[in-house]
Structures are given as structure tokens and as C-alpha cells.
Structure 1
Amino acid sequence: MLYFLPNDDILYDALLKRDPQWDGRAYVTVRTTGIFCRLTCPARKPKRENCSFHDTVGACLEAGFRPCKRCHPMAAGGEVDPMVQTLLTQLEADTSRVWREADLSKMGFDPSTVRRSFKRRYGMTFLEMARHSRLRDSFDSLSEGARVIDAQQDAGFASASAFREAFARLLGLAPAAFSKQALLRADWIETPLGSMIAVCDASNLHLLEFVGRKALPGELKKLWQGANGSLGFGRFAPTDQIERELQAYFEGTDARFQTPLALHGSAFTKDVWRALRDIPAGQTRSYGALACDLGRPQATRAVARANGANQIAIVIPCHRVLGADGSLTGYGGGLWRKQRLIELERQYLG
């Protein structure tokens, strides 16, 4: 099925609540003002009888409505708050800086406002994002053969124990657990939706996850155990290939992924993952519809579990599965990413 809107009562309730899960997936047109908005628009809410709902910006424009100047519905993902942009620029300029709430206050920003803004937009706080950037620097240093103590200092960690703890919390393993010349190698890939970890062997991609996903530490540890500890830093040819394919995907030029995959799951789970890959970019399925596609209409919950067990994000597009009513459901990379991936893939509908 193509993406469909639920009934107007559900969408009007989402408008009143400014529910972010519908941002970029549904728009409201207001008859009395002649404008259309995101459902997260901060403006005063119109009466129910004056509202109509559409699934695309084009439909709103064709109906004769103008875009709202407060929520900017024609900007992909909404315009970036100047405060957010300022902090992102500062972070990009010095990824090793150790940020504290006092630093935000000195810049004239309210730490609680910063926390809410980043959490709403990126699914993590600014301080968490800064910590991930520092750990990324240490990851790069270790990949280049640096000693753990040097990587720790490059990342701005004064304490060796704090560095090991932060590294292990993010990746599930302490730095010393990664070996040289390993059969599996892990490296970072940057995307417009945040950093990802790719784990490959010489022939296949085994894992592709967003940094910060709760399941990532456990998934990496499981791969490490399966490879008898032969997991290291660096990349093989499949890492370069998936990085190129992700770039094309986010640029809107190609949604096909040809990188060979190593799938770790039961026969049924692998069937679900293959069915997910059969969903064209720009389309969605419900869990029930996917179960029917597999000839197992009573296996909706099993399909949902297999969907949640996917550890190769985007390539195996579990983000294309919605609730039966069209609502977003759980996504390991964060609902905000799921929402933006669905919005991004509209361009592939042709």
C-alpha cells in the first residue's frame, strides 16, 4: 500500500497535541486563514470544522492554500532553530570540546530549552551528541592504530576509567576488546540523520546501526562473540560500498542497495527481512499486511519481533512498517528518524 492517512479525528487530536510523529507526513489546511501547517505548528489551533488534512505539501498547494510562516511546512524537516544551528556549528568546529550546561548558559542559552530542542529534533540532547562526537574522534584514532591512552586524550577524557565506561556504554565493548587485523571491522559512517556504525568482513555487511541505538552495544557484543573476539577497527570494501550507496540514497538519486549482506537470524526472521526489502521506497506496509505477504496472516506479532531484530538499518527498511492505523510505531533508531526517512522517500515515488 501507499502511505495513507488515518481519519480526521485522529489527525485533529494529533494537531491539538502537536504530535511530532506526524510531522512531514500529514498537513492541515485551515479554511478561515487560507494557510496550511505542520501538525506541530505552534500557532493557536483552529476549530475542527475549519480543518482538512492532506498527506503532501503538493496537495495543500493544489487546494489553494499558502504555507504557514511559523512552522514552514515546505522546508524538509522544518527550519532549524537558530539556537540549534549555532550549537551544531560550534560542535562541528571542535568535536573534542567537553561541553557542560554551564557553557550553554555562558552563550545565553537556557540549558533546559537546549535539552528539549535537541531531544525533539534529534532524539538526543546536545550534551549526548557532543559526547558521541568525542567518542567518534577516539574511534578514528584507534582505527589508525593509536594507543588507547592517546585516543582517550584526543577525545577529551581526563580519566581512563571514564573513557572506558563511555566507550563500552556506547559500543558494548571496552577499547581493548577490539583486535588488530580482525575478521570483522567496525567503522563510522556519517549521514544526514546522524552517525552510523558499519561492521563488515571482507565480503559482507553484518551490521549498520545508528549510534546511540539502545540495542547497538548488545549487537556488537554478539558479533564479537560470534567471531571469537576477532572484531577490530577499520573497514573492508563493503564498508566503502555501503557508504557510497547511503550517500546516493540521502541525495535522492538512488534507493537501491547492492552491498552483500550477512544476515544473522532464524529462517523466519530472514524471510521477514527479505519481505521488507521488497517494499519499494516511498511505500509502507502494516505488520499485518507484511504477515499476509508472507502467507502467515496470524503471525503479526512474530513479524513485529523480526522487524525489531533487524540490525541493518535503512538497507533492510524496517522503517517502512507502520501501525494498522498508519501511525508510527517503535523504531530502534528513534521515531524522529523513522519519520524523516518516510518523508525523504516520498521523492522516490516517481
Structure 2
Amino acid sequence: MDLNKRIDILDYLRGFALMGIILVNVGPLLEIRQPASDSTDFLYWKFLYLFVEGRFYTIFTFLFGIGFYIFITRANARGKNGYVLFLRRIAVLFLIGLVHVKFHPGEALTVYAISGLIILPFYKANKVMNLIFGGIMLFFLALFSIKIFMVVPLMLLGVAAGQYRIFENIPLKKTAVFTVMMFLLGVVGISYQAYYAPTQFGMKSEAISLQTERFFSIGIAIGPLVSAFYAGLLVLLLRFSFFQKLLSPLKSYGRLALTNYLCQTVFILLLGNRFHLFGNITYLQSLNLCLAIYIIQLIFSCVWLRYFRFGPIEWLWRMITYREIPPMRQ
């Protein structure tokens, strides 16, 4: 493993995941009201819960597991104590999350830090065991739609992917077969979920409530399948130089993942306060807000990385982790 070389595909995937996460997070942050039945807003709401909710955080969580493995492996290869550095790293992440959660209830960083501590003993475990154990655990937790507990097996599968070095030498044929399989399973899963999609809101009917709950539960259960298809498709597209260039801003976006994730909350809350959006915005209008934030953050990420090696929050995170001031300029 090259100790200094970044694995570009992981940055593309992080950026891609972040773009989906904000579409879901903006709803509770701005207290978006329930859409009127049979409206365009209602159709977009169903689109979010069929194709976005539970799909992109899954990719982001899986990537955290890969990053966990790469971080410790490279630190050990440099003659440092990878375990100590990682513990310091997730301690900083936890503190950042504690601040962030005051503004964004339900945010992921504190959960990631705790889950990183849980999977630490698996770093030296056999890669086959990690793959099988992670897969079985994810399967059963998905069956019961226990979203928060699915973080641990997703990270563990990320560790296994790091051990197999999948993203350092991507097998094209296997990736294509995997992506097609996930597509077919995803189509079946989404079709099943769509069958239970609610047709109206605001009625206190027990049948409608049970149907809506079933709709959400199925969405959580099939999330990893749809996420795997999304990730596989992006990996295949990036085999072509055309898509590498076209999507290059996504790579910069992913390199500043922590900075951009936190700033998404900052932008949403600032704009919400400035324009009195809390409880006064529709789901479709929130999409326009997200598109504006995309443009700002993508441009910022590309320009920033022309002059600096790390994002501002990443630089601070790295400085505290290593207890030294890393060079910031390119």
C-alpha cells in the first residue's frame, strides 16, 4: 500500500454520499411540513423515501470502515502506533459531534465515533470472518429495520473491503456482475416498498399509519441493496476518463467530507433563519435550497484544494490527532 497516495474512488464515493445525505437532512432541520396528498410535493417526498433516505448514509458509513482500516494500516507502516492515533482521532470526532448535535439532532458523528470504538478489535481479525460476520449481522438488523445498529456491520464490511484491498485494484467483471445483481435486488425491494407507499397524510387512520410505518421499515431494510447498486454503478462509470473529468468536482467535495458535512448544517440553519424557512418551506423548495448549497460547496472545494492540502476542519482534526501542525499549503 502506497503510504501517501489517496485512493481517488473513495473521494468520489464520499462526495456522492454527501450529496444524498443533505437531501434527507434538510427536512427535519427546517421542520418541513407534510405534503398535501396527490401534489407534486408529495411525489417528491415519495421519491426521497424510495431512492434517497437510507441509501446514502449507508455508503458514507461503509466508507468510514474502509477509512478506519487504511488509517491504522498506514500509521503502523510509518512506525507509529495506529491504535493510539485512531483512538485520538475518534475522540476528536466525538467532540465535534457533541457540538454538532446541538444544532443537528440525530447527526452521525457521535454514532460513528462510538461505532469505531466497537469495531476496533476487528482490525486484526481474519478478513473472511469480518466479511461473513458483518454480512450476517447486517442482514438480521436490516430485517428488523434497526437503522442505528446497522452502522456497526456496515463499518465492519468496510474494514473487510479494506482488508481485501478492493478499491486499490477494482476487478471490472466482478464489479459489473455485483452491480447488476444489486440492481435486480434493488428493483424488487423498491417495488415492494412502493406498494406500501402512503397515499395521503393527515388522517388518523390506524390502517394508514401501519401502511406508512411498513413503508419506512422496508426502506431501511433494502437500503444496503440500493446503496450497493449506486456505489457499484459509480465505480463502473469512473472506469471511463470522460466521467472522471465530468465528476471531478465530486472528488474534491469528498476530500473535504467533514468540512462539507458540517457546513451543510451551517448553510441550512443560516438560510433558514435569514429567510424564515422553518415550517414554511415545501420539500420541492428544499431541493432548490440543496442545489444552491451544492453549487457553493462544489466550487469552494475545487478552489480550496488548488491552494491547500486539507480542508479547514480536516486540518484541525489531523493536527489534534498527530499532535503536530501539518503543512497546509500545497
Query: Which one has the bigger strand percentage?
Result: 1
TM-score per shorter chain, which class?
A: under 0.3
TM-score with structure 1 setting the length? 0.26
Higher helix proportion: 2
> Which of 1 and 2 has higher RCO (CA within 8 Å, sep 6+)?
2
Question: TM-score, length-normalised on structure 2?
Answer: 0.27
Q: Which has the greater radius of gyration?
A: 1
